[in-house]
Amino acid sequence: SPAGMVLSVLVILLLSMLYEAIKMGKALLLRRALLALPHSLSQESLVEPEEGDPGSAQGRWFGYHVGQTLFHVVQVVLGYMVMLAVMSYNAWIFLGAILGSTLGYFL
């Protein structure tokens, strides 16, 4: 039905926009992870952190790395979902994916 097609195109458009937002989130987490690393490789930064030091650079970096991993998994799943929708060879679905990707990147 026409209403079902419009809803399908809208869902694919939103999934494509979300895919682009996840890409941006992953890039921001990478930037924060790199800023969390020690700036120099002095003896103080190479020694093991104290047991009770939750704010250590290594601990923050690990948290950012776990966040990046979760973002990556969501990005791969969304990417494959959009790809499967496009592989239906429906021109409207294809245009919805392209428009969603464009809007997501722009925003």
pLDDT tens column, 54-97: 556 667 778 888 888 999 999 999 999 999 999 999 999 999 99
Cα separation values, 92 from 4, 42, 59, 89, 106, Å: 12, 58, 47, 9, 21
pTM for the full model? 0.74
d(CA 29, CA 25): 6
Q: Are 15 and 81 in contact (CB under 8 A)?
A: yes
d(CA 71, CA 28): 11
Q: Model confidence over 4-59: pLDDT tens digits? A: 999 999 999 999 999 999 999 888 888 888 887 766 655 555 555 555 555 566 67
